[in-house]
Structure 1
């Protein structure tokens, strides 16, 4: 029998390889891995879903909010770490704002964006942290003050003019007029409040640390890289314990015992910090009184 031309043989060999690899990698291997996962770690393989009263209430691997319809924290529940993506698995990700992001864009009263919505401005990462710290402090009955934050919960940042040389004008750029600047003067120059819409780019940026000592833990005011972190630090959980105990009429020691029961150690014994799974903790709290 006459042999097929070499180019046809090469194409047939490539086609056979494609079919074999498709079968192995596209069917046999996935089915094998799925079968082993279902047999060995059924719960984890199916998303670590948690059920209550016969309904799925969430995943132990994904954080969620515990707020009312207006976004206010439900006081009887432990609150999760902030999320840049709204705890949406499809929007998982960080804010991509870095430590140099300290200047707000103040909303201009009466102005509208390109879609006709009221101008809301833009909060810097620093102001987001300051605002969260103030809110957590008010919720937990502790000081929400922290370095580089003003008393009204925005970034304590000045713009100094000229950028080089002796200052002649100083503006607290994140405090919109008629707010009272967080310090009255800088190097002998009276500090002004920020005017929405005014361009302060030519000035020198001066963040002011102040003397505040942070009581609110860092994970209470910063979002995780995924925006879906189901854990909070032990320090943040301990901060919330008195409020949760008071709202539920429980002994605070009982609540702290539950915190300890839901605290996981460092990964592999040495990576990261211990964490508290918020959803599992809140579910156990709900079960205490049926």
Structure 2
């Protein structure tokens, strides 16, 4: 007996569904689970977890903060780069700050839910904090001495040209970081004012900071994921004197540990050398 065409089509579709379900819904995933159990790959499949004794202390793929209950850096540990993931290095809230080079003007307000820092001010503030912790000059170009973006809203007589008629330090409500600009007294900003909308030309001021800051860029900027477990060798080297002092090591020994935990460029040319902070800190603890 020949089946109706419509029924034959439905049966063919059902057979295809069953075959694909077995292949792609069962065999394929199980094959990869089995592959993840192969010695040498099983650790990566489980999240590259690191254990000390019977305790899991973290993952080599996810950074973590080394701070006390008040959020202050623990001096005897190498510090990670900043993180914008949740409250910091939260894998469930991985994200970037979504702020770019043009983010130089803070939102000033008495309401903490409205107020926000520009990327420039975040960098300036972090650089001063790192400089203080490490005992180096934390100043950076386009930053004020008190750690905010050194930015003016400059008003010209003819809009974008002509003599300067007004200048406002847009990130400071107190004393401006410069007293005058182009012969005009610089005003402090007022909360809630959008000086760019009023016709001001946003003008970052470079200042006298060195062109190559002592504090590396990765010490003051978060990674795209907010989970980067690594820092640059330059940032690790900056922290070496503090670590040696706090732990009673020689700086030479600390630098040797840094070198031992520095990974080179992938395939010899991709990316930059990096130091895994968790593994380096565990090595320090293992020395004592």
TM-score normalized with structure 2 length? 0.93
- Distance in structure 2 (CA, Å) of the matches to 1:46 and 1:33: 13
- Distance in structure 1 (CA, Å) of the matches to 2:28 and 2:115: 51
1:101 equivalent among 95, 100, 103: 103
Q: CA deviation at 1:91?
A: 1.0
Secondary structure (helix, strand or coil) at the match of 2:70 reads coil
- Distance in structure 1 (CA, Å) of the matches to 2:255 and 2:241: 9
- In the alignment, is residue 92 of structure 1 matched against residue 94 of structure 2? yes
- In the alignment, is residue 190 of structure 1 matched against residue 185 of structure 2? yes
- Distance in structure 1 (CA, Å) of the matches to 2:206 and 2:102: 14
Matches within 5 A, 1:1-290: 1=1, 3-40=2-39, 41-85=41-85, 86-108=88-110, 112=111, 118-119=112-113, 121-162=115-156, 163-164=159-160, 165-177=162-174, 180-201=175-196, 202=198, 203-213=200-210, 214-289=213-288
**CA offsets per residue over residues 147-183 of structure 1, 9 Å max, x none?**
1111111111001124423211111111122xx2222
Q: CA deviation at 1:89?
A: 0.8
Q: Which stretch of structure 1 is more off in the superposition, 248-257 or 157-166?
A: 157-166
- Distance in structure 1 (CA, Å) of the matches to 2:66 and 2:241: 17
**CA offsets per residue over residues 32-76 of structure 1, 9 Å max, x none?**
111122114111111110011311110000001000111111111
Task: Report the equivalent of 1:115.
Answer: none
Structure 2, gaps ≥5 residues long:
none
- Distance in structure 1 (CA, Å) of the matches to 2:95 and 2:51: 26
RMSD: 1.3
Q: Which stretch of structure 1 is more off in the superposition, 88-97 or 273-282?
A: 88-97
List, as ranges, runs of 4+ consecutive aligned residues in structure 1 with deviation greater than 6 Å: none
Structure 1, gaps ≥5 residues long:
113-117
1:119–1:37 CA distance, 2 compared to 1 (3 A): closer
Q: CA deviation at 1:199?
A: 3.1
